[in-house]
Structure 1
């Protein structure tokens, strides 16, 4: 009996150690969240290889390396590790709530990476399997908080699926909505291990799927300032603020970001800085950052967008001839891929410009667009204020003029002035299904949502979804669907 007891105790102890967050594991995870990949790898090298947490953190490390480099060769070398790690986790204690959570995390790591490398179908299956693992874990261990970080994220994604794809989600057994996902993310923030990651995901949901409020911006600012040595937070803080039209704040985050050899290289920061300086009409500084990005970057995403922005720097500076600038647009057609929306938009612009040329009005509209997108509304208004839509003979330009004016006044918190411009942009865009109509309808939905006019908000979100073919369809549809879900 004594030996049987010792044997059973040893089994119980081994099972418990399958998923142990040792002090070393905790340090490594904290370092990875700061993008201090090398020091995390050194710490992990001394930890037990059969610990499920070690397997998860090794996988997290590979995901960060691939996501920050976009290196196709590295992806080819590392991609076999997904199955190896899934098999290793499956061999561990399946009575632990950690097993299904970490299996799901590994699948989501690779889903994210595969999307960046154009492997959409394989990524989709990873997401579906991760969802089922998390739902099973929720059913078996409803009070296990780590489940809700990624489950909440997936419920937000499912809740923002466009109407015409809802049947697909239902067929695959995927159910959820944005409000449910946000509640689960808030619940996950009570967990000491995943608290920081859950807070960041929640803010990204608010910026990319919903609409970032002033209170959200203040929360983000505190989060970044409280973590001065966290490069990842400074990076995501900048992307969130830039996405929300606050490029000056984004620049502040990037200017004070931690740097040095301890951190994983992040070439895309130069691309973001280039975007900010082109919005500020500082074309020389923008050009320098875009060139630094191209020199350091090994991936295929954002190449079309970068050469397009280099073209804009020369074109808008007005110191180059057409013959000098056209090669940059020709380059757009030959480099990279069109996985991300910015590359799709760059490709569309280059094709149209090289085929038909452009009118003088397009420079005016482009300067206003860039300034408005960055939140520099005084400059944007100065570009457009001398004109009305009679100045623009082409329907596309009329629609863009009205859309830009509407967005400028919307950003200046003058919604009643913005509404007629956005409505006019929508009306002009509907016959030819121009993208300005979809984005104008989305913004009108937001305005009426803020006015608590649910009927008008719902109508405009549905109109945004009704535009079938434009380069921003994925993001507009996701936001419109999320808007409808929140009403």
Structure 2
């Protein structure tokens, strides 16, 4: 398979290397974000959720305790629990899998290049140990899962050929596990997440999927995930998290996810991952106060894996509230502690906003702005947006910027109050003329005043026309599609989802197109 992949890569000589890197990054991030983030096409699949037979025993009691520690992001206690079990049974699938989960979580969360080589070698050693274990559902599942972890780790650190090879191999191995052990729920969990991630990639990346030999159907992925979420197993909670995150993020059905994350956080207040999930979901749902409450209540005792990204999220939430000095402190802490390359441009952009809106001296504002342009990847959309802002070199409008931040945090009445001071003049930029009605629309939408929101979403598209290289008009069309769909107006919803797809490049085109395509599939 490696030789085949290399031949295919050589055949792409007419395609810029940067495009291959970016596309592999999309595949990797789609799956990686599902593990930590971690995130149905016929109303999210809940029907027919029984497996052929009761699931087999999965984790040993000791491995189960260690896995619970991994989910809490307490990796040192988890590794200590596994140490004796692995010493006495070095080819046992359960402790090998949980040990690999701990390493994979460390790599994804820390993005520490200094730890990559050792953890990659440990993953390969576990695969070699599993080759000596007797065949079983757990053995085959652990091997497929670890292969996927290895591939995603390699993609994260831009070892593209080997990462693509292991991603492809693990995906096909997981398909084989489901075929041979249809009652084994954990395999359906992982396969379902993979199928959804692969099947929901934008059309522009289908050439890469063909290159890797990956095919997937979103509906099949959601069905497999629903089966795993409904079946009692050691991985049921993880399956339920994935399912609810997909419904919340891609199908605008947040209620289940909000209930689940709050229940998990209440049941396990010492679980840092569950605190992160509650913070993340409430942030996406524009409930800044709830997200900040989850951040402040997170466990902080020794023994937890450091998660610098939490500081970056908190910086956003404080920026929304207008607490600029506190936001600046949180982002500086993130940049100090974060060992990875992603979200650095976004952090610099947010530091620039905080300093600018706080009225800091021009030299401090300019210093943060220049940090945006430091070398670094733009794989994630937030970094891409920050870099695009830097290169566009157009001054932001302070009124619209404040209103945007307030609305992002759920402070919609304040946003409407801020927008009252916006006035169009002959020198007003075209971008600002488009953004102003969009900001009003989002604030009215957050307040549940949908007639007013619809009016301003429509005005956004009228002002933008069909060629504006900004995300306001396509996002307005996407939101109108959701509004029409929720009102049962499917023909109208289809019109607006298709309209969102037809806009040219903008900063969030990948995610906007993915959501519009999934919504269109659901309408079918």
What TM-score, normalized to structure 1? 0.88
1:161 aligned onto 2:187:
no
Match of 1:46, SS state, is: helix
1:381 Cα shift?
1.3
Kept in 2, the 8 Å contact 1:307–1:329? The answer is yes
Distance 2:502 2:209 in 1: 19
| Structure 2 counterpart of 1:33 | 71
Which residue matches 2:168? Answer: 128
| Correspondence 1:49 to 2:87 | no
Residue in 2 that maps onto 1:4: none
Contact 1:396 1:434 in 2 (8 A): yes
Between the aligned partners of 1:148 and 1:157, the Cα distance in structure 2 is: 14
Secondary structure of 2:373's match?
A: helix
Judging changes above 3 Å, is the alpha-carbon distance between structure 1 residues 371 and 125 closer, same or farther for their aligned structure 2 residues? farther
Determine if the alignment matches structure 1 residue 479 to structure 2 residue 520. no
SS of residue paired to 1:92: coil
Partner of residue 387, structure 2:
347
Residue number in structure 2 paired with 1:5: none
1:418 is aligned to 2:459: no
SS at match of 1:80: helix
Report the CA distance shift for 1:426/1:182 in structure 2 as closer, same or farther (over 3 A).
same
Structure 1 position 231 matched with structure 2 position 272? yes
Report the secondary structure of 1:93's partner residue. coil
| Structure-2 change in CA distance of 1:285 and 1:49 (3 Å) | same
The answer to whether structure 1 residue 113 and structure 2 residue 149 are counterparts is no
Q: Any gaps of 5 or more consecutive residues in structure 1?
A: 1-18
Q: What do residues 194-243 of structure 1 show as CA deviations (whole Å, max 9, x unaligned)?
A: 01111111222123322143343223212221221111111122112212
Q: Which has the larger radius of gyration?
A: 1
What TM-score do the two structures reach when normalised by structure 2? 0.82
Superposed, which structure 2 residues align to 1:137-216 within 5 Å?
Answer: 137-166=177-206, 169=209, 172-177=213-218, 179-189=219-229, 190-216=231-257
- Structure-to-structure mapping, 1:303-452, within 5 angstroms: 303-321=344-362, 323-353=363-393, 356=394, 358=395, 362-387=397-422, 393-427=428-462, 428=464, 430-452=466-488
**SS of aligned partner of 1:375:** coil
Corresponding residue of 1:67: 108
- Cα displacement string for residues 65-119 of structure 1 (whole angstroms, at most 9, x for unaligned residues): 112211111123322333333333233333x222332222113323443444345
CA contact (8 A) 1:429 1:435 kept: no
- 1:168: Cα distance to partner? 5.7
Of 329, 333, 342, 1:292 maps to 333
Deviates more, 1:441-450 or 1:162-171: 162-171
Cα RMSD (Å) = 2.3
Alpha-carbon distance change, 120 to 440 in structure 1, aligned in 2, over 3 angstroms: farther
Check 1:338–1:62 CA distance in 2 against 1; reply closer, same or farther (3 A cut).
same
Q: 1:251 and 1:184, CA in 2 relative to 1: closer, same or farther beyond 3 A?
A: same
Native 8 Å contact 1:162 1:465 kept in 2: no
Q: Distance in 2 between matches of 1:479 and 1:119?
A: 29
**Could you tell me which of 139, 145, 150 is aligned with 1:99?**
139
Superposed CA deviations along residues 288-309 of structure 1, whole A, max 9, x for unmatched, are 1111222222221111111111
The answer (yes or no) to whether the contact 2:58–2:233 under 8 Å persists in 1 is no
Higher mean alpha-carbon deviation, 275-284 vs 227-236, is at 227-236
Inter-CA distance 155–20: structure 2 relative to 1 (3 Å threshold): closer
| Cα pair distance change 1:113/1:233, threshold 3 Å | farther
Aligned residues: 461
Q: Which residue of 2 aligns with 1:265?
A: 306
Q: The residue matched to 1:24 in structure 2 has which SS? A: helix
Q: Residue 6 of structure 1 corresponds to which residue in structure 2?
A: none
Alpha carbons of structure 1 residues 236 and 335: separation in structure 2 relative to 1, 3 Å? farther
Spell out, residue by residue over 1:271-319, the C-alpha distance to the aligned partner (whole angstroms, 9 max, x if none).
1111100010000111111112222222211111111111111101123
Question: Aligned partners of 1:296 and 1:310: how far apart in 2?
Answer: 16
Which runs of 5 or more residues in structure 2 are unaligned?
1-56
**Post-superposition offset of 1:389:** 5.8
Determine the C-alpha separation between the residues in 1 that align with 2:427 and 2:294.
38
Q: Tell me which of 500, 503, 512 is aligned to 1:464.
A: 500
User: How far is 1:165 from its partner?
Assistant: 4.2
Greater mean alpha carbon deviation, residues 236-245 or residues 23-32: 236-245
How far apart, CA to CA, are the structure 1 residues paired with 2:289 and 2:160? Answer: 34
Q: Cα gap change, 1:450/1:98 in structure 2, threshold over 3 Å: closer, same or farther?
A: same
408-417 or 110-119, which moves further after superposition? Answer: 110-119
Per mean C-alpha deviation after superposition, the further-off stretch among 265-274 and 115-124 is: 115-124
**Contact 1:444 / 1:457 at 8 angstroms: preserved in 2?**
yes
Deviation at 1:462, TM superposition (A): 2.1
